[in-house]
Amino acid sequence: MKKIAIILGLVATVSLGSCKKDWTCSCTDQSGNNTYHTIPNATISDAKNTCNGYETHVSSSIYTNCSIE
């Protein structure tokens, strides 16, 4: 019985890692100013990919560093 509870706990933990939620992407521009972007209803993997995409031209600003918070 104890093994079943442990296995169910592990399965629940793994399945929570792939859930979708809203993420915040923090970007720094060339002047050192921080900008925040909300990435709605995404997995962590998708949010990281979207956030990394902000490191190109967005609204005529170039972000030098973007990361998920």
Residue 43 lies in a domain: yes
Q: Give the count of beta carbons closer than 10 Å to the beta carbon of residue 23.
A: 20
Residue 30 lies in a domain: yes
| SS3 (DSSP) at 58 | strand
Task: Please state, in angstroms and as integers, the Cα–Cα distance from residue 30 to each residue in 5, 9, 39, 59, 66, following that order.
Answer: 51, 45, 22, 13, 12
Q: How far apart are CA 17 and CA 47, in angstroms?
A: 13
Residues of the chain with pLDDT under 70: 1-18, 57-61
Residue 47 lies in a domain: yes
pLDDT of residue 69: 87
pLDDT of residue 12: 55
pLDDT of residue 21: 96
What's the structural domain count of the chain?
1
- Give the domain range for residue 23: 19-68
Q: What is the pTM of this model?
A: 0.65
Residue 23 lies in a domain: yes
Task: Please state, in angstroms and as integers, the Cα–Cα distance from residue 45 to each residue in 5, 20, 38, 67, following that order.
Answer: 28, 10, 15, 12
